[in-house]
Every structure is written in structure tokens, then in C-alpha cells.
Amino acid sequence: MTSGAAPATSSGQRTRGYLRAVGAVLWKDLAAELRSRELLSAMLVFALLVILVFNFALELDLATRQTVTSGVLWVTFAFAGTLGLNRSMAVERDRGCLDGLLLAPVDRSALYFGKALGNLAFMLIIEAIILPVYSLLYNVNLFLPGLLGVVLLGSIGYAAVGTLLSSMAVQARTRDVLLPILLFPVVLPVLIPAVKATNAVLLGLEAAELWPWLNLLIAYDVIFTAAAFMLFDFVVEE
Amino acid sequence: MGDVQRVFYFHVASGWVGALAFLVAAVSGGIYLARGKRRWDAVGLASVEIGLAFTLANLISGSVWARPIWNTWWTWDPRLVTASVMELVYVAYLLLRQGIEDPDRRARFGAVYAIVGFLSVPLTFLSIRIFRTIHPVVVGNNDPTAQGTFDMTPPMLQTFFVSLAVFTLLYGVLLWHRVRMQSLAETVEERKLKLLSA
Amino acid sequence: MALEGPAQTFNYMLLGYGVILGCIAVLLASMVARYRSLMRDTRMLDELEAQGKR
């Protein structure tokens, strides 16, 4: 850990210390992942398998693809995301990292933002691989600026809530089955607008069709990041 | 519409009690996190249990009404979806509590999830609302596309408010008994532990 | 609707009321059952504690 909470004299210094603590937690996750690559490879293989299953379950021919691509993409992201969230928190717990991090003299919320950014980064990496693969397999261009924006906004909301809920789920006896049950009903207001907005971009609808969904996504991201920021303290309290 | 219209009074009243109960659970979750008094956790748990029963009554009675009026048991209307997602959120709440042994942690996690779950409900509603709805809006503004709308005559309004008041009262009584039972359950638990360790 | 007279939906009304009252009854029954079992535990604990003192 860096000396995140060195006696701060000015607020500027305190902000810098806080950001350094967030960066340290994020860097710890990324560095550990770069070394082992177990989480990313599991998420990636799983995501590809989900797409494969959808291919046969829905017979993704040209006509169906028009309407279901957005749904297939988001279900894939959501499932792969659950896998990643569960794993990233379980690792903290199994190796006793959580206790170590809690002992560190940093604000608890810095821990939250570090973990949330790490989870977001993993999701974005997976999405950055899945999108071109999907484009290639089904010959649709998914690299539209609007779509990338929707993916980013949706992933932020998903990671913000997912980090909070997965840190509760790993502390429960039934942890492996608990996370999706806790997460999916609460994250539904991210998935619905994300699917609809993705669809609107893919069908080339006008911006007026897209904005209500984007506004909803932004509102969700803001509300739930703020709520998770305030509530995370109580989740890791020992 | 016939006699089935009469379900409306209890249908709306149980929906109201369900939403009120989940609001109370979120608020008492907030108070528990701020003050740390176990009593508030008992209020939250009690309220969620009662809310689940009433929301279920609301959902199924709505479905029974919809069969003759909309000619289907179920449609993916914003209110229907929101109510059923709400039900699922609080079933998840009970499952979360079940999975945690330490009572302090159980109370804290329950409070956090009650707040997060309640925050998501209006957003779920909004996100589905952007589609067209066919659910009648009897109280408040009227949407001409709604099917099965009716205007309330003064006696209907009176009946409606009486049933709202009665259901709210029923909720209060149930909550009070359930909270008392929870504190009894906690003393029994403590006494068992004491006996086992002695 | 007023012209053609009310539809015959009396059975649905009965079903609707049955469902609502049924849900409340299930809640009440579960509360009563749990209360009974708590009282049984309390009595058992009383007995055990009394035995312990003797």
C-alpha cells in the first residue's frame, strides 16, 4: 500500500492521498490479474460459450439477429460480469486480503472505488474482446460511437452495484448462488435501458429515441454510485 | 365490468401496503445503520415479510381481475413488472439474511440491501414505463390508451378510502406484533446460547 | 358498458377476494406458528433452567 493517509494538511493533499489509495487498490487487482490471468480467461471463455449457446438456441440468422443482438450482448456481459464480480471478491476473502486492506489507514470508500474500478476494467476488457468477435462472427458493425457509449454507461452502473453486492455476497454462507439473486433484480434498470439503447443505435434510430434511455442510464449510474459509496462502509465493517 | 370491479378496493389497498412496507423497511434500514439499535432491524425484517405477503396478494388479485377484463392473466406492463421485480428483490433480501449467521452482520447487510433494493424500484418502473402501458390509472391522471378504466362515483371513493385506511391499520397491527415476536425470538436465542455454553 | 349491462364476473370477484384474504391468512398462520414454537422453546428453556438450579 502507498502511504495513502499520511497526515494531510490541506484538502488538496488529502484528495491526492485518496486518489493514490484508490489507484493502489486498482493497481493491486490489475497487477495480480496480469500475473495469473485466471479471472479474465475464465470470463472470456464463459462469454464466448454464452454467445455460442445463443447461436444455437436462437438460430441467429440474419432476420433474428436484427432484433436480438442487443439482448444477446447484454445477457453475455451480465453473466460474464457476475462471474468476474464473484471471483474478484472471493479472492480477497480467501487470501485474507480484505482484512489487510481494512487495516490499512485509508478511507473505506477508497477501497470501494478501487475495487469498483477494477471490476469495471475487467468488464470493459471482456467487452472489448467480445464486441469485435461478435462483429466478425455475424458480420455486423458494432463499432459505433453511440454503442460504445451505451456499453460504457451500462458497465459503470453494473460494476457500481455489483461491487457493493458482491462484497456482501462473499461474506454469506451461500455466497456462490447468492450474488446473481441479489444483483439481477436490482440491476434490471441498467439492463433494460442498455438493451433498448443498444437496439436503438443498431437500428440507426434518431437521437430522440436514444436519449431517454441514456438519461436513465446516467441517472442510475449517479444514484447507485453515490448510494454504494455511502453504504460500503457498513458492508466491510468488522 | 361487473362484479370483478369490486376486487379493485382490496387490490389497490394491498399494493399500497406492500409499497409502504418496503418504504418502511428502507427507512428503518437507514435508521439502523445510523443508530445501531437492533430494534430497527426487527422493524425492517417484519416490514419486509408483511410487504411480501401484501405485494403477492396485489399481484395475484390483479391477475384475477385481468383475466376477464384484459382477456389474459398476465401482460408485461410497467406496473406488473415493477411489482413482481419488487417481490423478487425482497425474496432475495430474505435469502441474503438466511445465508448469514452473525446477527450484527445480518442486520447490517439487510439494511444495506433494503435501501439499495428500494432505490431501484422507481428506476425499474421508469425504464419499463417508456413503453406504452395498458394499466388503468384510476387515481390521478387518466391515460386514454388504458383498458378497463372506470370513474369512481362518490360511494366508490368512500369505499376505496375506507379499505385503504383499514389495510394501513392492519399493516400497523401486523408490524407491531411481528416486531414484538422478533424481540421474543432474540431473547430465546440468547437464552439458548447461554444454556449451551453453561 | 352500461348499455349492455354488467359482465358476469362474479366468480372472478370471489377468486380475487379469496386470493387476497388467502395471502393475509398465510402470513397470519405463519406468524402464529412461529409464535407457538417460540413459546414452546421458552417453556423448555424455563424447565431446563429450573433443572440446572436444582
> Mind giving me the DSSP string for chain B?
-GGGGGHHHHHHHHHHHHHHHHHHHHHHHHHHHHH--HHHHHHHHHHHHHHHHHHHHHHHHHHHHHHHHTSSS----HHHHHHHHHHHHHHHHHHHHHT--SHHHHHHHHHHHHHHHHHHHHHHHHHHHTS---S---SSS--TT-SS--PPPHHHHHHHHHHHHHHHHHHHHHHHHHHHHHHHHHHHHHHHHHHHH-
pLDDT value for B78: 79
DSSP for residue C9:
-
DSSP state of A78: H
Please answer yes or no on whether C34 and B49 come within 8 Å at the CB atom. no
Chains A and B touching, counted as 3 or more CB pairs less than 8 Å apart:
yes
CA distances for B56 relative to A151, B14, B93, B183, angstroms? 35, 9, 15, 26
Q: What are C's interface residues with B at a Cβ cutoff of 8 A? A: 1, 6-10, 12-13, 15-17, 19-20, 22-24, 26-28, 31, 34-35, 38, 41-42, 45, 48-49, 52
Measured between its terminal Cα atoms, the distance across chain C in Å is 78
pLDDT at B129 over 80: no
Longest dimension (CA), chain B: 70
Residue at B136: amino acid letter? P
Spell out the domain ranges in chain A. 11-236
**What percent of chain B has a predicted confidence (pLDDT) above 70?**
88
Residue range A14-20: mean pLDDT, rounded:
85
Reported as a single tens digit per residue, the pLDDT across C4-51 is 556 677 888 888 889 899 999 999 999 999 999 999 999 998 898 888
- What is the rounded CA–CA span in Å between residue B20 and residue B31? 16
Distance (Å) from the alpha carbon of A136 to chain B's nearest alpha carbon: 31
Cα distances (Å, whole numbers) of residue A181 to A27, A83, B99, C24: 29, 13, 12, 26
C9 → closest Cβ in B4, B49, B57:
B4
pLDDT at C2: 43
Inter-residue contact A210 to A201 (CB < 8 Å): yes
| CB within 8 Å of B167: residues ≥ 6 apart | B10, B13, B14, B16, B17, B54
d(CA A180, CA A73): 18
CA distances for B178 relative to B45, B50, B184, angstroms: 9, 9, 10
Can you give the pLDDT at residue B34?
93
Neighbours of chain A (3+ CB pairs under 8 A): B
CA distance A156 to A221: 6
Taking residues A55-63, what's their average pLDDT?
Answer: 78
**pLDDT value of residue A4:** 43
Task: Inspect the interface and report whether the beta carbons of B178 and C31 lie closer than 8 Å.
Answer: yes
ipTM of the complex: 0.85
Residue A196 has pLDDT above 60, yes or no: yes
C-alpha distances (whole Å) from B9 to each of A44, A80, B12, B128, C29 are 52, 45, 6, 25, 24
Longest dimension (CA), chain C: 82
Model pLDDT for residues B47-76, shown as the tens digit of each residue: 999 999 999 999 999 888 888 888 888 888
What is the length of chain A? Answer: 238
State whether B127 and A216 contact (CB < 8 Å): yes
Q: Across residues B30-44, what is the average pLDDT?
A: 93
pLDDT greater than 60 at residue B127:
yes
Chain A residues with at least one Cβ partner in B under 8 Å:
161, 164-165, 168-169, 171-175, 178, 181-182, 185-189, 192-193, 196, 212-213, 216, 219-220, 223-224, 227-228, 231, 234-235, 237
* Residue A31 to residue A115: CA distance in whole angstroms: 13
Q: Which residues contact A99 (CB under 8 A, 6 or more apart)?
A: A238
Q: Which among A171, A172, A192 has the least Cβ separation from residue B127?
A: A192
Res. A64: pLDDT tops 90: no
